[in-house]
Chain A
Amino acid sequence: MDFSLLLGVLRFLLATTLILVLTIPTAFVVIQMELKIIAGAQLRYGPNRVGPWGMFQSTIHGFKVLAKEDHIPDQADRATFTLAPWMVYMAAAMSMLVIPFAPGAIAADFNIGVVYFFAVLGLSVVGLLVAGWASYNKYSLLGGLRSAAQMVSYEIPLTLSVVGVVVLAGTLNFRELIEWQRAHGWMLIWQPVALVIFYIASLAEINRTPFDMVEADSELVAGPFTEYSGMRFGFFFFAEYVALFIMSGIMISLFFGGWLAPWPFPDQLDGFIGTVYGVVWFFIKTYIFVAIAVLLRATLVRVRVDQLMGTAWKVLLPLAMVNLLVTAAAVLVFKL
């Protein structure tokens, strides 16, 4: 009998379950960081009552959402209304499959990991659009349309900036991308323009301030989430913060050496120790970028819709094109 197939299936099931379970504490941690860092930037203490230093505040929020009434509007399209939070959450959770946490700690080590990641993450826009449409509420629909316009526009510079990285490293596999960075230095040095484009576009892609046009609480109530309550709203909320974690994780994998330590010694260990060491560095780097994104939210105001679209099509896209062209030419000329 062929046990390798069975083992593969088992490994896949275990990995997906672990990833799904991991999303929940991740969301709690990111939300807690959001609460604390924004409070600090506003000269407040932030949550400091639940648990030591208030560290269980976001957890309590999560359970509170579970206990709340789940209401579906009369005029809503029930089937799609109930499906939408699931679509958004699964888009975030599924894209987590290819995140390289550490050597040997990648749930699915594809040879087309980069393509898979951006394809799956792009699915969340479908969920948001469906949520906006199914709610039977003009604010929801406007939010859904904004999400479609914004996320589709920003996906293009986002993906094009990564193409530069891929051309340089010659692989679509996240593990090999990090191995390349181990040999040649972090991609940050080779592709600084791509990093800038990627960072701006990734903020827009996951609807973070200053590009949170989709939610825009002061204009659209809560965008596509207006009519959602209870755990359905919780799924959207979680997905948003999981997406922030994922984007930071992918960015450090692409540009900041992933699980590699910032100095060469001991840049990669073998076996179980190496995995733990990699995981530690991965999380440190990722949460630094999560913190920066949160600090950005405390600092910047929301941009206008026309500024948002103008930036994507008139600045980021040409810049990404030029960057790709120069990278490709350099690869050809210098036989990198």
Chain B
Amino acid sequence: MTIPGLGILKGLRQTARNYWAPKVTNQYPESRPTMPDRWRGRLDLIYDPFGEHKCEVCFQCAQVCPVEAIDMSGFDSSGNRIRYGLPEIYDERKDPNAYRRAGLPAMPMRNAARWDEEIDTPWLRGVIDGFGGKPEALVAIFSAVEERYGYLPERALREASERMSIHWAQIFGAAGLGGFRLLPADGHLVTICTCAACRFAGGDALLTALRADLGIEPGETTADGTITLETSDEVAAGALSPALRIDTLVYGPLTVEQGRHVVGERRKAPVRARSGQPVA
């Protein structure tokens, strides 16, 4: 026979005993947990003052790693691709991080040869000094550079880093965040968003229509050099699905007709300045 309420009383007894029992809380700042000897905390790669990894792919870490958790690949001083680790697991890896670890650009770079093109250094210095060399003027300086070159050449960023005494990593990060183009594009760069939200809202139809309209596949440039088509899943316009970006301007939400109209109008407009020459 069960007595109603007996279970509740048993539970109360247990919790009441717990109240007097020794506590398990670790009083953190005063008493610290003892970590295993091999505990190294959070791992991070060290950067040099120019924002480059100090790691030179020497494999010393991979060789001493007790649980063989480290694998990597890279280029040795002679430019040969070398790697360390279990090939059957990692060699076929295609994710962007694997590319970056291997020292390869994460995405195939178009026009990469012009990334480090010669720039008009005295003009750039004038622009920087015109803003007093202040870090808060970075966006304005970038705008001026992009106005002139159509994108931000690496040498311009290096020059800004040196002239303004800002770490390369910070300059590069700012350039990447501000909606600037880091690579030269022939004509207008049309980026169709392929994030899940945009595809769901009709981005695939938009892409198909534009491919048919322009007669090119993503990654190619039209014969007259006015439009370069590209896809990306980080146009970052979630509320505007389906979205497309022309150069740095995001359009959306678009029907297929609207998208074709916008791109067609842009194709008729004058092309952005070619590298090295100021806007006419």
Q: Which residues of A contact B (CB under 8 A)?
A: 37, 40-45, 292, 295-296, 298-300
Contacts and interface: CB of A to CB of B under 8 A. Distances in A.
A288 to B, nearest CB: 12
Given A45-B27, A292-B12, A296-B12, 6 more contacts: A41-B18, A41-B19, A43-B22, A43-B25, A44-B23, A299-B11
Contacts of B15: 41, 295, 298-299
A106 B93 CA distance: 79
Nearest to A296: B12
Interface of B: 8, 11-12, 14-16, 18-25, 27
A192 B21 CA distance: 33
A39 to B, nearest CB: 8
Contacts of B18: 40-43
B166 to A, nearest CB: 36
Contacts of A40: 18-20, 23
Contact of B8 (A37, A44, A299): A299
Question: A-B pairs with the 4 shortest C-beta distances?
Answer: A40-B19, A41-B15, A299-B11, A299-B15
A188 B279 CA distance: 95
Given A295-B15, A299-B14, A43 B23 contact: yes
B19 to A, nearest CB: 4
Contacts of A45: 23, 25, 27
Contacts of A41: 15-16, 18-19
A298 B19 CA distance: 10
Nearest to B20: A40
Contacts of B24: 43-44
A60 to B, nearest CB: 19
A44 B25 contact: yes
13 contacts: A40-B19, A40-B20, A41-B16, A41-B19, A43-B18, A43-B23, A45-B25, A45-B27, A292-B12, A295-B16, A296-B12, A298-B15, A299-B12
A42 B21 CA distance: 10
Contacts of B27: 45
A295 B12 contact: yes
A295 B25 CA distance: 20
Contacts of B23: 40, 43-45
A156 to B, nearest CB: 21
Contacts of A296: 8, 12
A32 to B, nearest CB: 15
Nearest to A38: B15
Given A43-B21, A43-B23, A300 B16 contact: no
Contacts of A42: 18
Nearest to B16: A295
